[in-house]
Structure 1
């Protein structure tokens, strides 16, 4: 299944006999909470998925990073409240760029749900296409989703370090953060030695719509990321990198996620830090 769906496809799916469950994952690091925007208007029938309360466990300043993976049962309970069931499609969306929505996509895939996609261009594209929005709260769902961990490849710190040495580990943060010139979020600047940089902001064009698969495939291949290659991705806390995993999958490349990402890596001061592009 293509992990991305466009507004035309989604509108048709919502008119079908079995429409997909919609998850509104509007979230921005350091920005306002997404719930007010959801309540002001969302795709009809969509349920709000809270990044911090439902798609992450509480951070503890440890090697799990700033957005630890949620407890399986807590996550499953939140998904069931949204109506998620194993035999029903799910579409996640956010404001535009798909980064926050991809966290929900990755978690559902990791916990065993295979029929999940992200709306290309998110809420902005839906509105721009003239499709209807709603401001009412939907009734709680009655899904039957049961988590089965292991549906997506996951890296620990040692595996991420090894992949940076003998595979391709992509750091998707901004180039200046990768180089260690600045670090606006975490207490240590730099990157995992051996990692390569491809900022996730470079994969989308105007309005947050993804660039063509062929264009992105060429960019990944320039980094050594080919179909069949050993590839992984990380960011600051594992949210943006989930989007990289989605875009890589769309390009025919399987990638593992180092979920703790940079915030988890630097929690152990013994781990090496690189501060130049050569690593």
Structure 2
């Protein structure tokens, strides 16, 4: 447990403004991303938090997709290659990092989770993303950013990671949350992956319900009540999966805000459904 482990993994725009004006400002990562769309570098270039470096989720926070689909649509990046990306972005082992995105928290949480998994001791997400920043009066800049080379060296294993077998076991022996939309969980639609449905025993827990109408995370007590109602307790292990390990990272973040540690099945449904031998459940019932 690090010295910062008791601190919330999210911070408000006003808190970030204060830290940027202080003596130990955090490194800023812009991780705006949209599912199935082009990268948002052009949006970053049009306006970003001053000093923020753009990180391309599909190319820099994921590894190459395998022809057989194993590992999912966003496989974990090679740790050394991920470390090189973070160093180019100015990430250092002893300097705080704050990631932000367009508002849902998916892209920022992916960077947050990867940095935690590879051992960075102080990384957080801007609650509400860019919209919260501008609503609070924060400036944006279109200036190009050239970050000084960082020194971060990844050491994978610092955060919980599940493979398919571990996720299946957790669905039987603990709590496995499915972070996708309810209709995908139930198998009514499947716009992306080859098979519709969910991992048998998993509980539907869409990420949209982690946020309030303002796009910010619910208060810790409200998140804790939400997850408790879904069966999460302090006594049983908790895991999360989604479509490809992106929105699921936001659910891991929400659980952390609520005080529940959890592990991520990074390959998620896109990895699970790539193997025709793996069982699939449909409908609202977890089983």
Q: TM-score, normalised by structure 1?
A: 0.98
Structure-2 separation of matches of 1:32 and 1:209 = 25
After superposing the two structures, state which structure 1 stretch, 23-32 or 257-266, moved more. Answer: 23-32
Following superposition of structure 1 onto structure 2, how do residues 165-244 of structure 1 map, counting pairs within 5 Å? Answer: 165-244=172-251
Is 1:119 matched up with 2:126? yes
CA apart distance, 1:140? 3.2
**Paired residue secondary structure (1:100):** helix
Structure-2 separation of matches of 1:277 and 1:194 = 11
CA apart distance, 1:18? 1.8
Structure-2 separation of matches of 1:111 and 1:215 = 29
Q: TM-score, normalised by structure 2?
A: 0.95
Structure-2 separation of matches of 1:231 and 1:139 = 40
Q: What is aligned with 1:267?
A: 274
Q: What is aligned with 2:144?
A: 137
CA apart distance, 1:255? 0.5
Q: What is aligned with 1:25?
A: 31
Structure-2 separation of matches of 1:186 and 1:156 = 18
Q: What is aligned with 2:4?
A: none
Which ranges of 4 or more aligned residues in structure 1 deviate by more than 3 Å? Answer: none
After superposing the two structures, state which structure 1 stretch, 222-231 or 85-94, moved more. Answer: 222-231
CA apart distance, 1:99? 1.3
**Paired residue secondary structure (2:162):** coil
What is the number of equivalent residue pairs in this alignment?
279
Contact 2:223 2:257 in 1 (8 A): no
CA apart distance, 1:206? 2.2
From 237, 247, 252, the counterpart of 2:254:
247
Q: What is aligned with 2:135?
A: 128
Following superposition of structure 1 onto structure 2, how do residues 76-155 of structure 1 map, counting pairs within 5 Å? Answer: 76-155=83-162
**Paired residue secondary structure (1:102):** helix
From 4, 8, 13, the counterpart of 2:19:
13
Is 1:58 matched up with 2:64? yes
| Gap regions ≥5 residues in structure 2 | 1-6
Contact 1:172 1:233 in 2 (8 A): yes
The RMSD of aligned alpha carbons is 0.9
| Gap regions ≥5 residues in structure 1 | none
Structure-2 separation of matches of 1:257 and 1:22 = 24
Contact 1:52 1:58 in 2 (8 A): no
Please list the CA deviations of residues 55-93 of structure 1 after superposition, one character each: whole Å capped at 9, or x if unmatched: 001111432000000000110001001110010000000
From 68, 78, 89, the counterpart of 1:71:
78
Closer/same/farther in 2, CA of residues 207 and 33 from structure 1, 3 Å limit? farther
